[in-house]
Structure formats: C-alpha cells, structure tokens
C-alpha cells in the first residue's frame, strides 16, 4: 500500500462490537495487511441506551485495533472534530459505520475528507452523501433511489459471520445443554430467574441427564442474580413456580445456582471480551429466552430456542424500541404504560421474536400468557426426545441469516475505496490535523 491509511470505525453498543466490529476488524487486517503503521484502525464509540459502560474496554481487547475513544467523549468529536487525546488524522482514510446513527459518518467523513462506508442491516439512509453501502438484504437495494442504487452492495449478514465463527469453536457433546436467558434488566430478571428455575426442575425430573447454564453479563454480579431466586427478596417467586435458588460458591472460585430441590444450574460469567457469550450459547442444544435482543443473537448463531413471554407481571417487559420504549421507561408512570403497551402487543400472538419477525412466519416457538413451568418443560422434553425437530429449527435459522462472508466482502469494499485515493491530490483535500 503506497500511502498510510486511517480506518475510523464508528460503533456504539456491546452487541455491535461483538457481532459487527470484531469480525470486520479481523477481515480488514486480513485484506489490508497486519502492518499497523501502514493501516491504523481507530474505533470511536457513540452513546447508546443499551450500553454497559464497558464498550471501550471491549474494543481495546481486539488486537487489530490501534486507538479507542469512549462514548462519553463522542459529541465534542462530532461537533468540533476534536478527540479527547488530540488524535492526528492521516490525509487518506475511510470511515466505516458499524452502529449508532447513520448521520454520524456523513458529518465525520465530510470533516476528515474520508471515504464513507455504511453497513446497513435494515435501512440505508443519506444515499447522496455516503460513498458506499454494504447491505444485509437485497430489499434494501430495491428501496433505494434509482440514481444511488450503484452505491449499494449486498454483502450478507455480519451476525451470520459471528455465528459461523462461534460454532467452529464450540465443542460437541451428547449431553443436552439447555441455556437459560432470563434477561439483564430487573423487570425481566424478577420473572425470568424464578420461572426458568422452575422449568429446569420440571425438565430435570424427566431428563436427569440434561444440564443447565446461565450466561451472565459482566454488568450483573452473581449475588444479585441469585437474589431474584430468593422469595424473601423477590415477591414474584411464588407467581412463577415457587422454586427458590441459592448461590453456591466453592473455595476454588467455581459457582453455580442450586434450586431448593438440588438441581444445579451452572453460571458462566462473561469476561468483557466475550460479550455476548457466543461460544457458550453455541454449545447449547436449546435455549429458553425472553423476548428481546437475545432472540436475534441466538438466531444469528442458529441456536434453537423457545421464546417465553409470561404475563403474570404484565409491566415487566420494558425493552421496546421507539416511542413505546420511551413511554414504558418513564419514571413513576412507566409501569402503567408498560401494561398498556404489552397488552396491545399480546394481541399479535406471534412474531415477537426477531427470527420470526425477519421470516414473517413462526420459525421458533413463542409462548405467551400465564405460562406454567410444567407445560414449557414438556415442550422442551419433546424437542430433546426428537432431535430432528431441533435440527430442522436450526436449519431454518441458518437459512434465514444467510451464509458467512459478509465481513470479508465489507473489508474488500473498503479496499476498493482506498484504491480511489490513487487519483487524489492531497493539496485539494482538507487538513486532518486535530482542531485546537
């Protein structure tokens, strides 16, 4: 490569960092070379309501990345072009959008005089001002204004890339491993933890060979998780099967949850660089999960799932997008809005899980209502007794998300954009020195 190049990646939440940024920076190094002096990769994070606060540490853990700026320093950079550490920018570069607001690369790319590439999962915006779009689906191209259609290239699904990578690292086992995903927010945990514990007890009674695991996000400590299974601290426990949990920790540091009748549930704490825990999830025969981002992640990994939306506490679900999400999370009145919003959502009776929404049909089962642990357990046992059903669900999920290779195609698009610099005249381009 004749010139030194800056690659600036814009991203925001832990999901985007794990499923988009991680495979892309790996392929960028494969395509553009491992010389960090010739190709410098910087990650600048923008604020996100789903952020854990550890996003900068996640990005720094990727060996392909040279510089990282945390989300709390984003707006001075967006508005004035000044990073917290006064980074200097090279004359040639590419801004890659991998999460946040698609308007950000318009502003930043213009200020730096860099080429711009947006990865668009569902919608491509700002066609006039962006140089290239790497899109997940052909429908995005079809919706684009005809005069800009040449800017859009279908590369596929970056999450499928991560799914293939995680599956390649997962070990196979004949012992059924059931993942329990109760959610990460208090409203969901208060229902999910005791309900999943009750389901585990029912499954264990008929399939004692089954094992259970809860992937725990680094933002949730184990004692807090266990509190949701303690009826003295969580009044919802009697409504969700009345099975209590306690945390068992050994001197060696190993920990697990144990039900009142002795069923063991392993807990897997995710270190920062393993958010989300794809290697763990990929080993699961089946996962029981709440509605939300978990269903998208499991779908990307082609992990069979049963999606649960118990309505014993109708105000528990607060993870809607847009205006409904704002209303249900308002202080004081959010609970009332949540009951209204969730009551309306229940009338859909389906297509609440992301794989089903994508497919516009029921690929994974959704159980909605005043669910009973024994009924959910019976469904899980039926799947375990008929592995061909699990295999069929897995194949449907795999076809839905598409084949891997999106990250490599996106990296090759970036390489093509870099090649356009050969005809540029640096004196005609704006200075990339940091603002004073």
**CA 309 to chain CA centroid, nearest Å:** 20
Q: What is the pLDDT of residue 341?
A: 52
3-state helix, strand and coil shares in percent for the chain, rounded to the nearest 5: 45, 20, 40
pLDDT over threshold 50, residue 67: yes
Q: List CB contacts of 149: < 8 A, sequence separation 6 or more.
A: 141
Interatomic CA distance for residues 229 and 245, integer angstroms = 5
Instruction: Look up residue 145 and give its DSSP letter.
Output: -
**Which of 10-14, 214-218, 336-340, 348-352 is the most confident on average?**
10-14
In this structure, which topology does domain 166-401 adopt according to CATH?
Rossmann fold (3.40.50)
Q: What does the CA dihedral 98, 101, 106, 111 come to, rounded to 10 degrees?
A: -90
Interatomic CA distance for residues 150 and 158, integer angstroms = 21
Strand partners, 234: none
Q: How confident is the model at residue 339 (pLDDT cuts 50, 70, 90)?
A: low
Which one, of 180, 203, 190, 199, lies nearest residue 237 by Cα? 190
More confident of the two residues 251 and 168: 251
Q: Are 381 and 320 in contact (CB under 8 A)?
A: no
**CA 142 to chain CA centroid, nearest Å:** 26
Q: How confident is the model at residue 409 (pLDDT cuts 50, 70, 90)?
A: very high
Q: What is the pLDDT of residue 165?
A: 60
Look-up: residue for tokens 């999460």?
A: 99
Q: What is the pLDDT of residue 107?
A: 95
Q: How confident is the model at residue 322 (pLDDT cuts 50, 70, 90)?
A: very low
Averaged pLDDT for residues 65-79: 95
CA distances from 297 to 309, 337, 411 (A): 17, 27, 22
Q: Are 325 and 319 in contact (CB under 8 A)?
A: yes
For the chain, the domains span 5-156+405-428, 166-401
Averaged pLDDT for residues 50-63: 85
Sign of the alpha-carbon dihedral angle for 217, 218, 219, 220: positive
Which one, of 284, 70, 316, 310, lies nearest residue 184 by Cα? 316
Q: What is the pLDDT of residue 292?
A: 79
Bond from prior residue into 276 cis (ω within 30 degrees of 0): yes
Give the DSSP per-residue string, 3-36. Answer: S-EEEEEEE-SHHHIIIIIHHHHHHHHHHH-S-T
Q: What is the pLDDT of residue 426?
A: 43
Interatomic CA distance for residues 60 and 40, integer angstroms = 14
Q: What is the pLDDT of residue 252?
A: 77
More confident of the two residues 130 and 52: 130
- Range in 275-284, 354-363, 376-385, 405-414 with the lowest mean pLDDT: 275-284
Domain 5-156+405-428 classification at class level: alpha beta
Averaged pLDDT for residues 241-258: 89
pLDDT over threshold 50, residue 274: no
Three-state SS across 269-304? ECCHHHCCCHHHHHCCCEEEEECCHHHHHHHHCCCC
């Amino acid at each position: 490569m004749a010139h030194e190049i800056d690659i600036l990646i814009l991203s925001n939440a832990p999901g985007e960092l794990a499923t988009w940024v991680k495979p892309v920076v790996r392929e960028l190094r494969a395509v553009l070379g491992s010389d960090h002096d010739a190709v410098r990769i910087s990650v600048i994070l923008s604020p996100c309501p789903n952020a854990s606060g550890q996003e900068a540490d996640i990005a720094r853990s990727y060996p392909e990345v040279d510089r990282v700026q945390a989300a709390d320093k984003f707006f001075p950079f967006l508005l004035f072009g000044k990073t917290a550490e006064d980074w200097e920018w090279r004359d040639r570069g590419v801004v890659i959008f991998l999460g946040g607001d698609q308007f950000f690369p318009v502003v930043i790319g213009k200020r730096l005089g860099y080429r711009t590439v947006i990865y668009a999962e569902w919608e491509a915006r700002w066609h006039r001002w962006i140089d290239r779009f790497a899109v997940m689906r052909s429908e995005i191209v079809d919706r684009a204004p005809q005069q800009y259609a040449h800017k859009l290239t279908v590369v596929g699904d970056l999450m499928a890339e991560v799914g293939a990578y995680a599956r390649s690292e997962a070990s196979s086992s004949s012992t059924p491993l059931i993942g329990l995903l109760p959610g990460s927010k208090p409203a969901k945990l208060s229902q999910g933890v005791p309900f999943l514990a009750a389901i585990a007890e029912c499954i264990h009674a008929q399939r004692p060979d089954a094992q259970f695991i809860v992937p725990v996000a680094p933002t949730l400590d184990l004692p807090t998780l266990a509190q949701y299974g303690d009826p003295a601290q969580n009044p919802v426990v009697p409504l969700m099967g009345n099975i209590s949990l306690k945390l068992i920790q050994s001197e060696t540091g190993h920990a697990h949850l144990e039900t009142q009748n002795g069923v063991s549930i392993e807990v897997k704490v995710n270190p920062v660089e393993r958010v989300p825990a794809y290697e763990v999830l990929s080993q699961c025969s089946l996962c029981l999960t709440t509605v939300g981002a978990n269903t998208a992640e499991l779908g990307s990994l082609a992990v069979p799932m049963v999606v649960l939306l118990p309505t014993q506490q109708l105000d528990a679900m607060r993870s809607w997008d847009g205006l409904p999400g704002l209303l249900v999370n308002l202080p004081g009145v959010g609970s009332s809005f949540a009951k209204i919003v969730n009551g309306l959502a229940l009338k859909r009776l389906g297509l609440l899980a992301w794989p089903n929404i994508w497919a516009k049909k029921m690929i994974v089962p959704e159980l909605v209502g005043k669910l009973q642990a024994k009924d959910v357990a019976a469904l899980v046992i039926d799947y375990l007794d008929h592995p061909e059903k699990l295999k069929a669900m897995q194949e449907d999920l795999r076809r839905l998300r598409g084949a891997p290779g999106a990250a490599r195609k996106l990296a090759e698009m970036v390489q093509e954009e870099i090649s356009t610099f050969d005809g540029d005249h640096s004196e005609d381009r704006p200075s990339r020195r940091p603002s004073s």
